[in-house]
């Protein structure tokens, strides 16, 4: 007996499902903008358009799929309520749209979920249960509670109705960028890219669809290599919105049929993209929301041609402010705009004043110092100072280091 080819496999959704979803969502979901970015176009050699789903009410595209699923509940199902397992964006989407329709929402979140996300989900009207060390354990508890109460479970991605809701983004992008030649989409479990790829490929087959995963949890890439979903090893990532260990069984056939290329990005590349969006576009993105741009900025795709009209998904903006501050600081270090030096000095009056005068003459701003006599192998009569400086960039750093050497200072970079 022959195994059916991918072309023969019955897909879970088609264009009609996405169009129908759009009618259900009309008036309840923000028609997010997709502006052209002159700055990013110059940086990448593409004509870049940013689809800003971070501007949705809950800060993420997730509410599209959640609402499409909620809108199809029977009156009996609505009366019993809905359950979801999520560490953030899906939870808020379900909570917001269920509560607006007078439907009880019970959300199970891992114990380590940041307080800001728990508070936001409760603020949208859901009952929140904290359980388990990770999403998998929260999911098991959510299913147990769902079965016990006879409620309806709303999966974050592996559901045809949810995927069709996410696909409405594809219809909007086709309207907003008539000359569209490619779209770059983050991938976790595959619900977002599955829906978008369906809408676009069944409307305009020549458009390239590129999927982006974090290299730490490349579950869809592993599924494509094996021909079926597989579970990858656990890992942590700043792109927690796409931190999915196993691609969806419902979404995988959509990716196999319609997605032209899968690529990965690492943590530093994602962090850099967050900083570029914030500084150059005045747009706040979470890790998953910046993954697609990271791939374009790093030239990861082999199917994008120079100058092509490319839509890049900014799929969410719910980032913890403490993480954002660390990303900004790390980005400044990578760009050479912040540097920490360890400088050896004679332990005598005026030595520090001489050093700071030299630094000031090169317009380097001191933000932090640590003065030490006892560590780092310092000779008696000498001392060291660890000094953190703000600079204008790598060229200024080169000039400054050369000046320190010329003045006889022994120094090294502290990483």
C-alpha span between 182 and 305 (Å, rounded): 9
The pLDDT of residue 331 is 82
% of the chain with per-residue pLDDT over 90: 77
Lowest mean pLDDT segment, chosen from 169-173, 192-196, 387-391: 387-391
Third-level CATH fold of 336-413: Alpha-Beta Plaits (3.30.70)
What would the DSSP string read from start to end of 207-251?
SEEEEEEEGGG-HHHHHHHHTS--BPPP---S-GGG--SB--TTT
Enter the DSSP assignment of 316: B
In the chain, list all ranges with CATH 3.30.70.260. 336-413
pLDDT at 399 over 90: yes
pLDDT, mean of residues 114-119: 82
Please report, rounded to a whole number, the percentage of residues in the chain having pLDDT higher than 70.
96
Q: Can you tell me whether residue 21 is helix, strand or coil?
A: helix
User: Among 63-67, 292-296, 362-366, which is the least confidently predicted range?
Assistant: 362-366
Which is more confident, 87 or 200? 200
How much is the average pLDDT of 90-106? 96
For 52, half-sphere exposure in the C-beta direction (CA atoms, 13 angstrom radius) is 16
The CA dihedral of 83, 19, 56, 325, to the nearest 10 degrees, is: 90
Tell me the CATH architecture of domain 63-153.
3-Layer(aba) Sandwich (3.40)
Where does the pLDDT of residue 322 fall: very low under 50, low under 70, confident under 90, or very high at 90 and above?
A: confident
> What pLDDT band is residue 8 in, cutting at 50, 70 and 90?
low
Average pLDDT of the segment spanning 122-149: 92
What CATH code is assigned to 15-60+159-330?
A: 3.40.50.1100
Residue 1: pLDDT over 50: no
- Any idea which of 97-111, 212-226, 385-399 has the lowest mean pLDDT? 385-399
Compute φ and ψ for 241, nearest 5 degrees. Answer: -70, -20
Tally the residues of the chain: 415
The residues of the chain that CATH labels 3.40.50.1100 are 15-60+159-330, 63-153
Residue 116's pLDDT is what?
77
Residue 97 has pLDDT above 90, yes or no: yes
Output phi, psi for 213, to 5 deg. -120, 160
Question: Are the beta carbons of 162 and 155 closer than 8 angstroms?
Answer: yes
Q: Looking at the predicted structure, is the pLDDT value of residue 414 above 90?
A: no
The predicted-structure confidence for 272-312, as pLDDT tens digits, reads as follows 999 999 999 999 999 999 999 999 999 999 999 999 999 99
Number of H helices, E strands in the chain: 16, 14
Listed range (97-111, 162-176, 237-251, 374-388) with the worst mean pLDDT: 374-388
């Amino acid at each position: 007996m022959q195994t059916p080819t991918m072309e023969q496999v019955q897909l879970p959704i088609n264009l009609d499902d996405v169009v129908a979803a759009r009618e259900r969502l009309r008036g309840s979901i923000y028609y997010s903008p997709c502006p052209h970015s002159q700055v990013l176009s110059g940086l990448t050699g593409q004509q870049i358009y940013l689809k800003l789903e971070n501007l949705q009410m809950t800060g993420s595209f997730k509410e599209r799929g959640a609402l499409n699923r909620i809108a199809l509940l029977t009156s009996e199902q609505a009366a019993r309520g809905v359950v979801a397992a999520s560490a953030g964006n899906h939870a808020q989407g379900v909570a917001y749209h269920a509560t607006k329709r007078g439907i009880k929402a019970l959300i199970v979140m891992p114990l380590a979920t940041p307080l800001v996300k728990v508070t936001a989900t409760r603020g949208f009207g859901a009952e929140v249960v904290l359980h388990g060390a990770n999403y998998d354990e929260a999911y098991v508890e959510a299913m147990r509670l769902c079965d016990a109460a006879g409620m309806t479970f709303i999966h974050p991605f592996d559901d045809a109705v949810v995927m069709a809701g996410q696909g409405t983004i594809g219809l909007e992008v086709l309207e907003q960028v008539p000359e569209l030649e490619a779209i770059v989409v983050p991938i976790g479990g595959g619900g977002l890219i599955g829906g978008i790829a369906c809408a676009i490929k069944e409307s305009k087959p020549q458009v390239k669809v590129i999927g982006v995963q974090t290299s730490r949890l490349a579950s869809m890439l592993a599924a494509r290599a094996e021909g079926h979903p597989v579970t990858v090893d656990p890992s942590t990532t700043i792109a927690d919105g796409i931190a999915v260990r196993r691609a969806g069984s419902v979404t995988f056939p959509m990716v196999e049929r319609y997605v032209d290329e899968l690529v990965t990005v690492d943590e530093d590349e994602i962090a850099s993209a967050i900083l570029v969006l914030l500084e150059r576009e005045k747009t706040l993105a979470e890790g998953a929301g910046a993954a697609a741009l990271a791939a374009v900025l790093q030239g990861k795709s082999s199917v994008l041609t120079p100058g092509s009209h490319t839509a890049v998904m900014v799929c969410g903006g719910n980032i913890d402010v403490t993480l954002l501050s660390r990303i900004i600081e790390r980005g400044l270090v990578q760009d050479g705009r912040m540097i920490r030096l360890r400088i050896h000095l004679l332990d005598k009056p005026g030595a520090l004043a001489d050093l700071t005068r030299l630094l000031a003459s090169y317009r380097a701003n001191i933000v932090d110092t640590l003065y030490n006599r006892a560590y780092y192998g310092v000779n008696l009569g000498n001392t060291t100072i660890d000094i953190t400086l703000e600079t204008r960039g790598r060229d200024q750093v080169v000039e400054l280091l050369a000046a320190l050497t010329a003045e006889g200072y022994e120094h090294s970079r502290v990483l």
